[in-house]
Amino acid sequence: MWNTTKTAMLLAALMALCGGIGYFVAGPAGLVWGFAFGGLGNVLAYFFSDKIALSAMGAQEVRREDAPWLIDMVQELATRAGLPMPRVYVCPQMAPNAFATGRNPSNSAVAITQGMLRMFPRHEIEGVLAHELAHIKSRDVLIATIAATLAGVISSIAWMVMWFGGGSGHSRDNPLGAIGALLMIVLAPLAATLIQLAISRSREYAADEYAGQLCGDPLRLAAALERLHVRNEEIPTDTNPAFHSLYIMAPLSARGLGGLFSTHPPTEKRIAALRRQAGLY
């Protein structure tokens, strides 16, 4: 029920932001066009956000003959979790990472990068995939995917305003209107980021805990997170930042004040929680 409410709130937020930006671009007429654009965005976000995310990452679906061990691993984890078999994708990025997407368990997918396939032992990959299936099990994948998609849409609209017009005729004549238009350009992407922040952090701890249960050993995921932390500092990620909240670990490490705007909890805290779950301390 809460996830349904959050979905409705996200879609309403898209409508409000699109309408507000439209108003500052073209006044009352722009408000109508903004709401129309927001309505179209809602349809696309709900039904096609998974395809948008996979396309943004350049993901290719994996056939059994390509990687039978990977398909078998996902199938075994899905069976343990009581989930339908998700589609499995591989992304071309060498920076190791993984994510899940889809509007419900019956239309879900898990994706893993080439870098993780090449650099990580299989037992750690199992821990990572268990984490992604935990997101599917808890049905928060739709929320995260829509949030990421809307972040990209909102940021794109804001950039369009910056390059193709910063306010309607009446707002340009009014200094306060001009300031409002400038604030919209700056705050729209920030609002999208804050939406993601409100969703992402708490769900990562819950997914880590369930993954530890699902794969039978929390230390598998703990080791994978430790390796991810090191590798993601060594290998740059060239994907759209709007979709970084979907990953099991944020590609860019946030330090100091920047950590306040991270979509993921600190890696050391996640590892510590998994070690406590394993009974180490």
Segment 167-209, tens digit of pLDDT: 444 444 544 445 555 555 566 556 656 655 655 566 788 899 9
User: Which pLDDT score is estimated for 87?
Assistant: 97
pLDDT beyond 70 at 125? yes
Band (pLDDT 50/70/90 cuts) for residue 253 is very low
Evaluate if residue 212 carries a pLDDT over 50: yes
| Element spanning 100, H or E | strand 98-102
**What is residue 252's predicted lDDT score, i.e. its pLDDT?**
57
Residue 36: the pLDDT is 79
| 28 CB neighbour count, 10 Å cutoff | 10
Of residues 61, 76, 124, 132, which has the active-site annotation?
132
Residue 132 annotated in active site: yes
| Greater pLDDT, 255 or 158 | 158
pLDDT at 143: 73
pLDDT at 165: 53
Q: Which residues make Cβ contacts (< 8 Å) with residue 237, sequence separation at least 6?
A: 93, 95, 97, 244, 251, 252
Nearest CA among 242, 183, 231 for reference residue 24: 183
Token pair 């890696």 in the structure block, residue:
267
Q: Please give the residue that has the higher pLDDT: either 141 or 151.
A: 141
Nearest Cα residue to 148 out of 254, 244, 40: 244
Range in 23-27, 128-132, 166-170 with the lowest mean pLDDT: 166-170
What pLDDT score does 153 carry? 65
Q: Give the three-state DSSP class for 158.
A: helix
CB contact at 8 A, 153 and 14: yes
pLDDT at 81 over 90: yes
- What's this model's pTM, rounded to 2 decimal places? 0.77
* Total domains, the chain: 1
Amino acid at 112: I
Provide the residue type at 248 as one letter.
I
Residue 49 sits in which domain range?
2-277
- Among 27-31, 32-36, 88-92, 246-250, the range of highest mean pLDDT: 88-92
